[in-house]
Amino acid sequence: MVIFRRGQRVAVYKKSEDEGWEDYMDAYIGAHGIITDPDTSKNDPDDLVEVSLDGKGTHRFPQDCLKLLED
């Protein structure tokens, strides 16, 4: 697990087992995006973080389904 920061590029690389993962999110696996709102108060690995996906809108994801992309 890493601490996500605003502006970092990430990929949704797998389905999460967390209850915050909804069925429609399956369509986003493999999508790349940018962290637009990490959890804004605690840096809690359990929080949902907001990600803008390229061409697929902005959604909150459990952190375990995200990985950082190298710049």
Q: Specify whether the CB–CB gap between 10 and 33 falls below 8 A.
A: yes
Q: What is the nearest approach in angstroms of other proteins to the Cβ of residue 58? A: 5
Binds other proteins by CB under 8 A, chosen from 13, 15, 16, 56: 56
Number of residues in contact with other proteins under rule CB under 8 A: 39
Interface with other proteins, residue 67, by CB under 8 A? no
Interface with other proteins, residue 37, by CB under 8 A? yes
Interface with other proteins, residue 15, by CB under 8 A? no
d(CA 31, CA 33): 7
Looking at the DSSP bridge assignments, the partners of residue 35 are 51
Reported as type and span, the H/E element at residue 39 is: none
